[in-house]
Homo-oligomer: A and B are copies of this chain.
Amino acid sequence: MEKITPRTQNYSQWYQDIVEHAGLAEHSDVRGCMVIKPYGYAIWEGMQQQLDRMFKETGHQNAYFPLFIPKSFLSKEAAHVEGFAKECAIVTHYRLRNAPDGRGVEVDPEARLEEELVVRPTSETIIWNTFRNWIKSWRDLPLLINQWANVVRWEMRTRLFLRTAEFLWQEGHTAHATREEAIEEAERMLEVYARFAEDWMAMPVIKGLKTPSERFAGAEETYCIEALMQDGKALQAGTSHFLGQNFAKAFDVKFAAPDGTLQYVWATSWGVSTRLMGALILTHSDDNGLVLPPRLAPVQVVAIPIYRSEEERQTTCAQVERIVQNLRAAGIRAQTDTRDTHKPGWKFSEHEVRGVPLRVAVGPRDIQNGTAELARRDTLTKTLVPVDTLITHIPQILDEIQDHLLQRARQRLQDGITRVDSWAEFCDVLEKKGGFLSAHWDGTAETEARIKELTKATIRCIPLNNPPEEGTCVLTGRPSKQRVLFARAY
């Protein structure tokens, strides 16, 4: 197996190597589009299942809306079209024909659409156009809908999972009778995302608000969760938008209130995507490969026999089979690797690269002694344990791994936030340490843009429950009422 580039040598290549060697995804021959490989897709399925459960527990229902959005729909909300028109795939024709020169096929010029269709970059417009018919009275509210779908945003520079032209995501779209209820919903779903990130991905996040210039195109307020990667760069892991009445007005969606008046509906939308796969990889992995939190690992335990003779093969294989059957009966995702085509060392490193949280190895001596060797992927430590304690030990160790990954990432996040009070300090910390810079900002878009231009750092968020604090802007020295978090970001 090829070596993974160490993080210190080339961080970006390290990421690419892990995605490739762990068999998670690859670039396709279609510009900007990825292929999600079976192992990567299995992790994504685990994420989907848990998120879907959390959405349903909070009262949401799944539905499905068209892939295509008529160009005119996109134009109805001014800020929205401004944000998405520049990066979309446009369907203009509906038929190919044989090329006159007999070489392949070409677009049939007679099959031009009257109105071009945009491949959805996000579905607010088509969904609110539909909601108009679904919402008549306050009794129809709240309307709590989620969609699992593919979306396309034409990106010029792509990175697997982190930024691709096509990606998979879920988009929640909800309609409410009052501003307060909509804001509550946007905050509730932000909380769901934060809980998912912490409890399942073992990835602590900072919950906050975007500044006006970083808001979703068409939103009145954008909430976000921001995580910190190992290289000191921030990653936006999910957003939840309070859309006000913008889309209701653009698509004329009104409801009859209990008092008989007709009012515009209040909206939210919120989404997470296959980008979470990138966040998961960047948060926990090491120079040996992928590291997965047990709750999201498609295989939590792999059991490998070690043998030379045929007799040894039989006894060790039988033993690992028994172990795996017991673990499965206890609800653990365990599997054997009894392939005769590879040596144990090769298998060890393959499962290590793929981030299997726990490895059990059984050799002839273990058979004699009634033991097994346990190896943890997160700490790379090995212990010899009595084989009959595995069934009680392993669930505990999986919990420990899940917890350890979270604590380690939490520590990194805590250590990664630096209070800076001058421009020199800002630049110095950004260069030497990275991470989040908690700094005063004068609140203007100009200063925000200038800082980005000078340093590539952006305001990641204004943390929720941010304490008010008098200060002066790190760049302009103008007065400021609170600190915000800056960082360079993915």
Residue A22 CB within 8 A of the other chain:
no
Do B107 and A92 touch across chains, with their CB atoms under 8 A apart? Answer: yes
Q: Which of A69-77, A197-205, A475-483 contacts B (4 or more CB under 8 A)?
A: A69-77
Do B67 and A119 touch across chains, with their CB atoms under 8 A apart? Answer: yes
Q: Which of A36, A81, A96 has the most CB of B within 10 A?
A: A96
Q: Find residues 135-149 in chain A having any chain B CB closer than 8 Å to their own CB.
A: 139, 145, 149
Q: How far is the CA of A484 from the CA of B384 in the complex (A)?
A: 66
Do B42 and A139 touch across chains, with their CB atoms under 8 A apart? Answer: no
Q: Which of A83-91, A432-440, A456-464 contacts B (4 or more CB under 8 A)?
A: A83-91
Contact of A41 among B63, B66, B98, B116 (CB under 8 A): B63
Q: Find residues 330-387 in chain A having any chain B CB closer than 8 Å to their own CB.
A: 341
Q: How far is the CA of A78 from the CA of B13 in the complex (A)?
A: 40
Q: How far is the CA of A133 from the CA of B107 in the complex (A)?
A: 29
Identity of the chain B residue whose Cβ is nearest the Cβ of A38 in the assembled complex = B61
Which residues in B have their C-beta under 8 angstroms from that of A91? Answer: 89-92, 119
Do A341 and B105 touch across chains, with their CB atoms under 8 A apart? Answer: no
Q: How far is the CA of A94 from the CA of B71 in the complex (A)?
A: 13
Answer whether A105 and B85 are a contact pair too, CB < 8 Å, given A41-B61, A126-B30, A145-B38.
yes
Interface residues on A, range: 35 or more
Do A168 and B64 touch across chains, with their CB atoms under 8 A apart? Answer: yes
Q: How far is the CA of A153 from the CA of B133 in the complex (A)?
A: 27
Answer whether A35 and B62 are a contact pair too, CB < 8 Å, given A91-B119, A139-B341.
no
Residue A152 CB within 8 A of the other chain:
yes
Contact of A36 among B28, B63, B154 (CB under 8 A): B63
Which residues in B have their C-beta under 8 angstroms from that of A129? Answer: 29
Contact of A66 among B34, B86, B88 (CB under 8 A): B34
Identity of the chain B residue whose Cβ is nearest the Cβ of A39 in the assembled complex = B61
Residue A307 CB within 8 A of the other chain:
no
Residue A447 CB within 8 A of the other chain:
no
Residue A328 CB within 8 A of the other chain:
no
Residue A286 CB within 8 A of the other chain:
no
Q: How far is the CA of A81 from the CA of B149 in the complex (A)?
A: 27
Residue A490 CB within 8 A of the other chain:
no
Do A104 and B75 touch across chains, with their CB atoms under 8 A apart? Answer: yes
Identity of the chain B residue whose Cβ is nearest the Cβ of A114 in the assembled complex = B31
Residue A130 CB within 8 A of the other chain:
yes
Do B90 and A33 touch across chains, with their CB atoms under 8 A apart? Answer: no
Residue A118 CB within 8 A of the other chain:
yes
Residue A97 CB within 8 A of the other chain:
yes
Do B75 and A86 touch across chains, with their CB atoms under 8 A apart? Answer: no
Residue A166 CB within 8 A of the other chain:
yes
Which residues in B have their C-beta under 8 angstroms from that of A126? Answer: 28-30
Residue A425 CB within 8 A of the other chain:
no
Do B116 and A65 touch across chains, with their CB atoms under 8 A apart? Answer: no
Identity of the chain B residue whose Cβ is nearest the Cβ of A33 in the assembled complex = B66
Residue A196 CB within 8 A of the other chain:
no
Q: How far is the CA of A336 from the CA of B72 in the complex (A)?
A: 43
Do B85 and A94 touch across chains, with their CB atoms under 8 A apart? Answer: no
Q: How far is the CA of A462 from the CA of B21 in the complex (A)?
A: 47
Residue A5 CB within 8 A of the other chain:
no
Which residues in B have their C-beta under 8 angstroms from that of A81? Answer: 96, 104-105
Residue A45 CB within 8 A of the other chain:
yes
Which residues in B have their C-beta under 8 angstroms from that of A130? Answer: 26, 28-29, 35
Identity of the chain B residue whose Cβ is nearest the Cβ of A134 in the assembled complex = B37
A228 shortest CB reach to chain B, Å: 28
Residue A68 CB within 8 A of the other chain:
yes
Identity of the chain B residue whose Cβ is nearest the Cβ of A69 in the assembled complex = B30
Q: How far is the CA of A62 from the CA of B298 in the complex (A)?
A: 12
Residue A315 CB within 8 A of the other chain:
no
Identity of the chain B residue whose Cβ is nearest the Cβ of A156 in the assembled complex = B94
Identity of the chain B residue whose Cβ is nearest the Cβ of A130 in the assembled complex = B35
Residue A233 CB within 8 A of the other chain:
no
Residue A117 CB within 8 A of the other chain:
yes
Q: How far is the CA of A239 from the CA of B49 in the complex (A)?
A: 28
Do A30 and B90 touch across chains, with their CB atoms under 8 A apart? Answer: no
Residue A53 CB within 8 A of the other chain:
no
Do B107 and A96 touch across chains, with their CB atoms under 8 A apart? Answer: no
Residue A150 CB within 8 A of the other chain:
yes
Could you list 6 further interchain pairs (A-B, Cβ under 8 angstroms) beyond the known A41-B63, A119-B119?
A29-B126, A30-B126, A33-B68, A34-B66, A72-B104, A88-B94
A/B interface sample: 16 pairs, CB < 8 A: A29-B70, A29-B129, A30-B117, A34-B66, A35-B130, A38-B61, A68-B89, A71-B104, A88-B94, A89-B93, A90-B94, A90-B95, A92-B92, A94-B154, A139-B341, A150-B150
